[in-house]
Amino acid sequence: MFDKVLIANRGEIALRIHRACREMGIRTVAVHSTADEDAMHVRLADEAVCIGPPQARQSYLNIPAILSAATITGAEAIHPGYGFLSENADFASMVEEHGLTFIGPSPEHIRMMGDKITAKNAAKAAGLPVVPGSEGALESLEDARRNAEEIGYPVLLKATAGGGGKGMKVARDASEIEEAWRLARSEAGSAFGNADLYMEKYLGKPRHIEIQILADNHGEVVHLGERDCSLQRRHQKVLEEAPSPALNSVMRESIGSIATAAMKKIGYRNAGTIEFLYEDGKFYFIEMNTRLQVEHPITEMITGLDIVREQVRIAAGAPLGYTQEDVRFSGHAIECRVNAEHPETFVPSPGKVGIYHAPGGLGVRVDSALYTGYRVPPNYDSMIAKLIVHGTSRNECLMRLRRALGEFVVEGMNTTLPLHQRLIAEPDFVNGDYDIHWLEHFVHRQD
């Protein structure tokens, strides 16, 4: 096992990784920007190294500074968390070239899944169901037209280098294809420096369901069930739940074993998440995330597994030590992402934390790096806390979530806590009756 791990991240996830390491007897090195000198992860880590000014490009994305920090502190491994360098294949390979261990998948798997066409081809070859669409990248507008006729409208143009919904345009019929092609290409070009597009049949009312995978270096792969992440606004998840209200145990085991077999086939290692769209009882692979995800705690709550601990053990070469039959699912979990934003306009609201009181009690978990007097810097993502609640049933989980939200106090800034209060009172949500578009309609409704 490692003696010392460097955490190449900030905020709640840096703290989350520190906690797993501390419990494993591993010393931690925090890295931080000048804006994060007073951050919780810096205070708790065994050592801390300042790696640059506030702008992420010069600190949390500064590869030479992070590698130097690892070298001078004698860290043996680097955990990248989510965002920042977590899905940068070049960073993962530089970590390995420096004789350190990257706590995550191989650079080759990160690269494979980073390109959405390569990812889809690999997924299809490994037996995952995919959305009907073009064979690879489209050559021209004429090629797009031909493909759309063959697939059947409505179709969706997607960026090969994409993610986050950028460079994505729907064409409802032949009259819309030229405009969609032009807009998607220019958006993809400016967002990713790569204007290449591919095409898929557009699914109108799907749910977003993702499967958590763990794979060790000895060929063992397990799935930890699914998370329903359909409640999003502008491609930002707002609330996630596990299990999905839309699946039964037969469907769960079916897609879970297909996902597990696919990961064995491609030789995937460490933690990963396979994203599907789910519509009319069918799953369609869309993307794979080769990192620890923000919403991993809901899976931890229903399986009792510590996913960060598993990532560290796998990276150190340890076998999982259990098989799929040993993974037991228990109860229901929901995560609410609390952002420092106005709950109706979503305008960011960084500032100094006044009174801070986190809810507690049975089945309540708060992952946050906040404390009274902390100044939330304006330079980074606005998520300040995750409230994660577990119950033996979905109904118990909802009752407990309502109770916990009522206890949560964050003064000094606007937060999205009132949005969550409103959301969990909504009959459609209570009934589990929602798709990927439901939340956008809900937030724009004035009642």
C-alpha to C-alpha distances, 29 to 6, 42, 70, 302, nearest whole angstrom: 5, 8, 8, 30
Which residue among the candidates 16, 185, 227, 291 is catalytic per the annotation? 291
Size of the site for ligand MV4 (CB under 6 A): 14
* Distance of closest approach, residue 74 Cβ to ligand MV4, in angstroms: 39
* Distance of closest approach, residue 166 Cβ to ligand MV4, in angstroms: 9
User: Under rule CB under 6 A, which residues in 269-328 are in contact with ligand MV4?
Assistant: 277, 286-287
* Distance of closest approach, residue 293 Cβ to ligand MV4, in angstroms: 13
* Distance of closest approach, residue 335 Cβ to ligand MV4, in angstroms: 16
Rank residues 38 and 440 by Cβ distance to ligand MV4 and give the closer one.
440
Rank residues 339 and 349 by Cβ distance to ligand MV4 and give the closer one.
339
> Which phi and psi angles does 199 have, rounded to 5°?
-130, 145
Query: Applying CB under 6 A, does 115 fall inside the site for ligand MV4?
Result: no
Nearest CA-CA partner of 111 in 268, 235, 316, 224:
268
Report the C-alpha gap between 193 and 36 in whole angstroms: 30
Query: Applying CB under 6 A, does 202 fall inside the site for ligand MV4?
Result: yes
Kindly indicate which of the ranges 66-74, 138-146, 200-208, 333-341 contains the residues binding ligand MV4, using the contact rule CB under 6 A: 200-208
Interacting residues of 22 by C-beta distance below 8 A, sequence separation 6+: 28
Identify the three-state secondary structure at position 172: coil
E strands present in 206-269: 207-215, 221-233, 236-242
User: For residue 239, what are the β-bridge partners?
Assistant: 231, 336
Report the C-alpha gap between 398 and 389 in whole angstroms: 8
Sign of CA dihedral 199, 201, 205, 209: negative
Rank residues 234 and 357 by Cβ distance to ligand MV4 and give the closer one.
234
Interface with ligand MV4 (CB under 6 A), residue from 75, 340, 383, 436: 436
User: Under rule CB under 6 A, which residues in 221-280 are in contact with ligand MV4?
Assistant: 232, 235, 277
Query: Applying CB under 6 A, does 113 fall inside the site for ligand MV4?
Result: no
Query: Applying CB under 6 A, does 203 fall inside the site for ligand MV4?
Result: yes
Rank residues 200 and 216 by Cβ distance to ligand MV4 and give the closer one.
200
Rank residues 67 and 131 by Cβ distance to ligand MV4 and give the closer one.
131
155-159 and 169-171 strand pairing: antiparallel
Nearest CA-CA partner of 310 in 302, 294, 322:
322
Report the alpha-carbon angle 202-279-201, nearest 5: 20
Query: Applying CB under 6 A, does 200 fall inside the site for ligand MV4?
Result: yes
DSSP code, position 331: S
Kindly indicate which of the ranges 201-209, 343-351, 415-423, 425-433 contains the residues binding ligand MV4, using the contact rule CB under 6 A: 201-209
CB–CB of 20/1 below 8 Å? no
CB–CB of 235/165 below 8 Å? yes
Q: Return the number of other C-beta atoms located less than 10 Å from residue 92's C-beta.
A: 25
* Distance of closest approach, residue 287 Cβ to ligand MV4, in angstroms: 5
Report the C-alpha gap between 246 and 206 in whole angstroms: 11
Report the C-alpha gap between 301 and 366 in whole angstroms: 12
* Contact flags string 375-414 toward ligand MV4, x per CB under 6 A: ----------------------------------------
Rank residues 275 and 367 by Cβ distance to ligand MV4 and give the closer one.
275
Interface with ligand MV4 (CB under 6 A), residue from 131, 161, 366, 413: 131
* Distance of closest approach, residue 119 Cβ to ligand MV4, in angstroms: 11
DSSP code, position 203: P
Rank residues 190 and 392 by Cβ distance to ligand MV4 and give the closer one.
190
Query: Applying CB under 6 A, does 156 fall inside the site for ligand MV4?
Result: yes
* Distance of closest approach, residue 284 Cβ to ligand MV4, in angstroms: 7
Nearest CA-CA partner of 312 in 10, 9, 28, 11:
28
CB–CB of 15/44 below 8 Å? yes
H/E segment holding residue 197: strand 197-201
Interface with ligand MV4 (CB under 6 A), residue from 74, 136, 152, 165: 165
Structural tokens at position 283: 């799953």
Rank residues 100 and 203 by Cβ distance to ligand MV4 and give the closer one.
203
Query: Applying CB under 6 A, does 92 fall inside the site for ligand MV4?
Result: no
Query: Applying CB under 6 A, does 124 fall inside the site for ligand MV4?
Result: no
Report the C-alpha gap between 87 and 276 in whole angstroms: 19
Query: Applying CB under 6 A, does 134 fall inside the site for ligand MV4?
Result: no
CB–CB of 154/133 below 8 Å? no
Kindly indicate which of the ranges 28-36, 52-60, 196-204, 305-313 contains the residues binding ligand MV4, using the contact rule CB under 6 A: 196-204
* Distance of closest approach, residue 256 Cβ to ligand MV4, in angstroms: 20
Query: For this structure, is 291 an active site residue?
Result: yes
Report the C-alpha gap between 308 and 9 in whole angstroms: 14
Residue positions annotated with a catalytic role = 291
Binding site for ligand MV4 (CB under 6 A): 131, 156, 165, 200-203, 208, 232, 235, 277, 286-287, 436
